[in-house]
Amino acid sequence: MMEEKWEALPQAKRFHAPLQAGDTEEVTRGCRHTDPDICSKNSMPGVCAFVREDGMCHAPPRSWRRQYAKLKALAEHRSSEGLRWK
């Protein structure tokens, strides 16, 4: 997903957005919380995507591992079918 599209995406929808380069089960590029205000790591130096120079979140939601697996499987399926994300 292009960075401009990611930035324009409402925060609540980012959890379900396609995987981006750098996303893993442990870290995400950008914040994937649907409501970052309730994240205990919000704005924590070295952890939160909102304050890190590289924009990587080192404390994604607990449900992220399962969501990552779903998004990865979907991306692999779309790739094998020759489909692209809009």
More confident site: 6 or 73: 73
pTM: 0.83
Q: Tokens 């990552």 appear where?
A: 68
Q: What is the pLDDT of residues 15-66, one digit of tens each?
A: 999 999 999 999 999 999 999 999 999 999 999 999 999 999 999 999 999 9
Judge whether 86 and 79 are in contact, CB under 8 Å: no
pLDDT band at 4 (very low <50, low <70, confident <90, very high): low
Please report, for residues 23, 49, 70, 71, 83, the alpha-carbon distance to residue 80 in angstroms, rounded to integers and kept in the order given.
20, 31, 15, 14, 8
Phi, psi of 28 (to 5 degrees): -130, 150
Judge whether 30 and 6 are in contact, CB under 8 Å: yes
Average pLDDT of span 3-17 = 84
pLDDT of residue 22: 94
